[in-house]
Amino acid sequence: MIIPFFILHHGCPNRCIFCNVHKIAGNNPESLTEQSFRETIHKYLSNTKRNTAHTQIAFYGGNFTGMEKEHQVKLLKFAHSYIQNGQVDDIRISTRPDAIDNEGLELLKRFGVSTVEIGAQSFVDEVLRRSHRGHSSSDVVHAMNMLKERGFKTGIHIMLGLPGDDRSGYEYSVRKTIALKPDMVRIHPTIVFQDTVLAELFVKGAYIPLSMSEALDMCTYALEKFSEAQIPVIRLGLQTNREMENPGSIVAGPYHPAFRSLVEESIFFTMASSMLTEEASTGKEIIFSLAQKDVSAFRGQRKKNLQRLKDTHRLAGITVKTDQTQEEGAVFMTVEGRTWKVRKFGTPERYA
């Protein structure tokens, strides 16, 4: 269980052109008091059985290690008291790569921070410059090396669709991220939020966001690469909140409240299509079998995937069966007694 706190823009030396942290973080207070901190912890802890969950306090948003040291110590002390009394296991923070130094890392270690997530966003320096990030890709490499030397778990955040980026730049960023071997990754498509420089550029026609289908395709590529490298993608798309859903908050861009589900659906569509093209399936009844957990992504929202498969391959009908014993992420297809199997990002194999 993660108990999240948002520090908003605290510690940010500049404003990145895409960032409206108030929309991303939702309705969070400008500054965290000890009372509001303890109330939130209490709310989370009272709803959880301590024995069953690894419990972590997280400071998200802003730039934790870029804040004044006194402010960092104040928040770390609040959190550390729950580690000392055994109610919380450890702490996670997110920060910028250029705000990491030896002294700061010693402080984090002392107060029980186990995980540091770095906002890299891109490894193309021109993209970072145009996004007004204020750091370079070499800062990310340096920060990751320091964190690993000191035994922190690490996470890297990357974005797609930033100004000046393109498919090859994004693929380069994915490869560079993998080379740094983080313990986890978060991927966010660039969304144009109200009250940002990016929104002004969009209105002037100087920035064109990715379409939804481009974003889905690029995220599918990234998921495949990170899956091959055995690096978990712990978030794909922004976590939705009420602020974000307010009319006008999102000006443009590939936003969907269940973005990851859309990516998963598109992966299952490709898997099923790859098997159907191995057979002369036109006009036939097809049976797909898969693990219970995968059924809704396979069907798609409002059964869109099934309809698309039926139309694209001109099938007579589709039956979806669930199998308790079947491995997750694999799809079996039976047509006229012949069975095929495909795993996520794999190629179809004749099974029986």
Spell out, one character per residue from 10 to 49, where the chain touches ligand SF4: x when CB under 6 A holds, - when not: --x--xx--x-x----------------------------
In angstroms, what is the minimal distance from the CB of 70 to ligand SF4? 20
Q: Is 223 an interacting residue with respect to ligand SF4 (CB under 6 A)?
A: no
Spell out, one character per residue from 113 to 152, where the chain touches ligand SF4: x when CB under 6 A holds, - when not: ------x---------------------------------
Spell out, one character per residue from 299 to 328, where the chain touches ligand SF4: x when CB under 6 A holds, - when not: ------------------------------
For ligand SF4, the closer of residues 162 and 286 by Cβ is 162
Q: CA of 295: how far to CAs of 103, 261, 288, 306, 320, in Å? A: 49, 12, 10, 11, 8
Show contacts with ligand SF4 in window 52-111 (CB under 6 A): 61-63, 96
Residue labelled with tokens 């186990």 = 114
Residue labelled with tokens 């919380």 = 88
Whole-number Å distance between alpha carbons of 266 and 90 = 36
In angstroms, what is the minimal distance from the CB of 139 to ligand SF4? 12
For ligand SF4, the closer of residues 12 and 318 by Cβ is 12
Spell out, one character per residue from 165 to 194, where the chain touches ligand SF4: x when CB under 6 A holds, - when not: ------------------------------
Identify the three-state secondary structure at position 288.
strand
Identify the three-state secondary structure at position 54.
coil
Instruction: Show contacts of 34-37: CB within 8 Å, 24+ apart.
Output: 34/78, 37/5, 37/75, 37/78, 37/79
For ligand SF4, the closer of residues 12 and 315 by Cβ is 12
Determine the angle formed by the axes of helices 212-228 and 259-276, rounding to 10 degrees: 80
In angstroms, what is the minimal distance from the CB of 133 to ligand SF4? 7
Count residues near ligand SF4 (CB under 6 A).
Answer: 11
Neighbours of 33 (CB within 10 A): 10
Using alpha carbons only, how large is the chain's radius of gyration in Å? Answer: 23
Whole-number Å distance between alpha carbons of 126 and 106 = 32
For ligand SF4, the binding residues (CB under 6 A) are 9, 12, 15-16, 19, 21, 61-63, 96, 119
